[in-house]
Chain A
Amino acid sequence: MRRRDALKVGLVLLATSTLASIYKPAYSKTLVGGSGAWKAQPPPPLSVVDSSRLVYLTQDEAKLVGTVFDVLIPPDELGMGATEAGCVTFLDHQLAGPFGSAAKDYKMGPVVEGTPQQGPQSIATPAEIYRKGLAELNTVTRKKFDKAFPDLTEDQKVAFLEGMEAGTIQFETVKAKDFFTLLLQNVREGYLADPMYGGNRDMVGWKLVGFPGAVYDYRDWIVSKRGQKIDVQPVSLLRTT
């Protein structure tokens, strides 16, 4: 580069600004130093999900998945079960959003199975897997036990889910094992995520393990409470109880 080019900074900058105003696309932004015009778009305000109505699941699906969730995280002396804690509401809203549609996945073809270490290649979305998987759950239990899943005994429910987890029970429309993995992942998320997402009612999941929640400063405890039990009343970003 020639030295004099470096000295023409002022002139170039003027041209840059002018052009930027002409070719200003919708999202792409040209931010010029010193102009002060580089404020970030504030994220939308947080809100608590509306649990009064379903947004993706049908009533029947919601009831059925709640029965499964309560086997995975049952009510006991350590705290309420998954459904009472709002895990179905949590799931319903997750399935209606970008998680449900796998909006961030790479979905271009060809879609082929590879080695296990190459990872999941299916482009089925969680919303689709729940729709098909829940429909088939009762079909399979009816064939096996002549009963819908919710009508099985507790032991039968546990044994059935163990079979899905181990891959010994197979579904036709989805991989039963993958469906189980998704169920377990989502019920844990619902039980342990911030209550604003619809689950973890009364911060029951956080109280179970002693997690303080949406706390941003532990300087007072890092030394003074080192190795000690802390009696925590957890806090949520939005929920007050």
Chain B
Amino acid sequence: MHYKRPKADVVIVGLGWAGSTMAEELTRAGLNVVAIERGAWRDTSTSFPTTRNPDELSGSIRKDILQAPVTETYTVRNRPGETALPLRKYHNLTLGNNVGGAGTHWAGASWRWQSFDHQPYSRVMERYGAKQLVDGLILQDWGVTYNDLEPFYDRFEKIAGTSGTAGVINGVKHPGGNPFEDSRTSPYPTPALERTRANILFSEATTRMGYSPFPVPSAMIGGPYTNALGINLAPCTYCGYCQLYGCGNWSKSSPNICILPVLMQRPNFTVVTESEVVRINTTPDKKMATGITFVDSDGNIGEQPADIVITATFTLDNTRLLLLSGISTPYDVNTGQGVVGRAFTFQTLSWAFMFFENEYLNPFMNTGALATQIDDFNGDNFDHTGLGFIGGAGIQSLCNQGLPIGMSGLVPEGSPRWGKGWKKAFQKSYQNYAQIQGQGTNFAHREQFMDLDPTYKDRFGQPLLRITYDYNENDRRSGRFIRDKCVEIAKEMGAREVKGVSLADDPYSGYTPWDSSHVQGGVVMGEDPRTSVQNRYQQNWDVPNLFVIGASSFPNNAGYNPTVAVGATTLWTAKAIKELYLKNPGPLVRL
């Protein structure tokens, strides 16, 4: 059956962090907003009770909370000319599958990105010049700066209840925080969490080495807090069932606890669940969006007309929706022309894996983002002259895993993997394993992009998205540089055994252990329609009533996690819609 819902002022595709943040802003402004979400409704108390949540098998092993490949997957190849093949099993991109999106099960690292990350092109040109860029690198400014975004970073932290120790407030440095952060107008809403033994060993070692350790800001609430929307959040309990789990404790910021309880009180908000959007509809001349088409769980095809269309799905799906809908020009790797699918980035990870001798690290007491970091080698916080790359990494002692199945393979190299020898080795390594992660920047390249797969289809017969990706020379160089720093710190911490790896040394795979779930770009914002899909307000250059929000707008990845930057840019765009677009519908940037 086909049906048409009544026209809304705004339709939002996807109700994760970006969609729910946007919906809260626009419903508060009086607009009638309808959200269409592929996943099912979830309540914190009903769906993630603390009496059933602590279960590793259904959580991080079977990954019940994630969107399954059978629902939608992606094809991957390392370079143009290869045949892309589908990711058939659960892979490293941990996709949301419910109201709340990936914001329900995320690890919770809650970073403001640095001013460098928003203007990498200008900063690199100013300090080093074009000679610093490897061949084929794509580097461009966002059209929006840290200073533009600061009030929105501030607001989002106050919605999320972010915990942390501020390093720079109104230009004044504060001890214990990150001395490299751009100036904030207020401290973190809640205090940083307690540190683990591994965190403290890292702090002591990096301090001796002359670096500046600080607690990683996190979604794990540092104390009782009433957020900006009047919702009470609770302190984190360090239970360790965090990444790939919902939090039934009201202590990990998520759309489900921070926004939806307020949003669902508003009569001008509607969410249609378990319905997948398959098209953005436009006028025949593709000059205006008219709404979206979705398929509900009974296979009925529904249409939701709206004056404004906002897509707020995962990076890859935002890109795919534009390609499926024929909006804006797809990127062509042969000519370098076109914009949709261009400037795709991942994350460059390096690690030092450590085994101590006689520690009791008690790894089960953790959170998804219980980490102590140094930023001395992140972004452009150090001089890159002669290094042959740009960017760097946040280097952190990350205590995010203590669940035994996940740790059962973590025994020193050369130890038995099974038999009596394994039991003995595992018993010891469980209490003596620690890790340092270098979470690195990642820059776009001419040959890294997304388009529609020519062969593989989804359950509705639509082409899957195809990812063409391998690390570029910049990322390989920065990865090795950071790996060596991780190893030096691990040795200073007194580990008996240290193994360093740079994941960029091997070809990209969606299944590499220890790899990231962060992907950015494809629908990037920018200053020039030849190199961006959207203007600085995340408004489509060609279709002025279409806004695509999320990390798909970011033309580069920082040495940070992307969520809070997604929140800030969403709030920035919400303000532009409310204060500029509604008064004068049309392009907000005229060239």
Binding site for B on A (CB under 8 A): 1-3, 5-10, 12-13, 15-16, 19-20, 23, 25-35, 38-43, 46, 71-74, 76, 78-79, 98-99, 102-108, 110, 112, 114-121, 123, 158, 161, 165, 184, 187-189, 192-194, 197, 205-206, 208-219, 221-223, 225-230, 237
Contacts and interface: CB of A to CB of B under 8 A. Distances in A.
A27 B30 CA distance: 29
Given A104-B90, A119-B88, A209-B431, A32 B270 contact: yes
Contacts of B537: none
A211 B197 contact: no
8 contacts: A6-B32, A13-B270, A28-B273, A28-B275, A28-B296, A115-B78, A184-B417, A212-B364
B239 A218 contact: yes
Contacts of A213: 54
Given A78-B427, A214-B54, A104 B274 contact: no
B251 to A, nearest CB: 10
B247 to A, nearest CB: 10
Contact of B264 (A38, A104, A217, A230): A38
A31 B297 contact: no
Contacts, number: 294
A40 B261 CA distance: 13
B249 A106 contact: no
* Most A Cβ at <10 Å: residue of B263, B300, B364: B364
B489 to A, nearest CB: 19
Contacts of B83: 112, 114
Interface string B231-264: 0000101111100000001000000000000011
B27 A33 contact: yes
B89 A189 contact: no
Contacts of A189: 57, 61, 405
A165 to B, nearest CB: 8
A19 B6 contact: yes
B320 to A, nearest CB: 15
A193 B272 contact: no
B496 interface: no
Nearest to B33: A33
B509 A119 contact: yes
B237 A74 contact: no
B41 interface: yes
Nearest to A113: B85
B41 A31 contact: yes
Given A13-B32, A16-B6, A34-B267, A121 B85 contact: yes
Given A5-B9, A215-B239, A29 B273 contact: yes
B53 A194 contact: no
Interface string B35-46: 000001111001
Contacts of A117: 78, 506-509, 511-512
- The 3 A-B pairs with the shortest beta carbon distances in the complex, nearest first, are A117-B509, A104-B68, A1-B307
Contacts of B237: 216-219
Contacts of A118: 76-77, 84-85, 509
Contacts of A8: 32
Contacts of A74: 419-420, 423
A212 B56 CA distance: 12
B69 A30 contact: no
Interface of B: 1, 3, 5-9, 27, 29-32, 34, 40-43, 46-47, 50-57, 61-62, 68-70, 73, 76-78, 82-91, 194, 196-197, 200, 235, 237-241, 249, 263-275, 296-298, 300, 302, 307-308, 359-362, 364-365, 402-405, 407-409, 417-420, 422-424, 426-427, 430-431, 455-457, 506-512, 545, 582, 585
A166 B512 CA distance: 20
Contacts of A123: 88
Contact of A106 (B87, B240, B270, B409): B87
A227 B197 contact: yes
A119 B91 contact: yes
Contact of A19 (B5, B46, B76, B417): B5
B430 A1 contact: no
Given A9-B32, A158-B419, A227-B359, A237 B70 contact: no
Nearest to B459: A108
A76 B511 contact: no
Contacts of A78: 420, 423-424, 427
A46 B43 contact: no
Given A7-B30, A40-B41, A193 B57 contact: yes
Nearest to A23: B3
A162 to B, nearest CB: 9
Nearest to A34: B267
Contact of B50 (A206, A216, A221): A216
Contacts of B84: 118
Contacts of A76: 420, 423
Given A26-B297, A30-B273, A115-B507, 12 more contacts: A13-B32, A13-B268, A40-B40, A74-B423, A107-B88, A119-B88, A192-B408, A193-B56, A211-B403, A211-B430, A216-B237, A227-B360
Contacts of B6: 12, 15-16, 19
Contacts of B423: 73-74, 76, 78-79, 208
Nearest to B456: A108
Contacts of B47: 40, 43
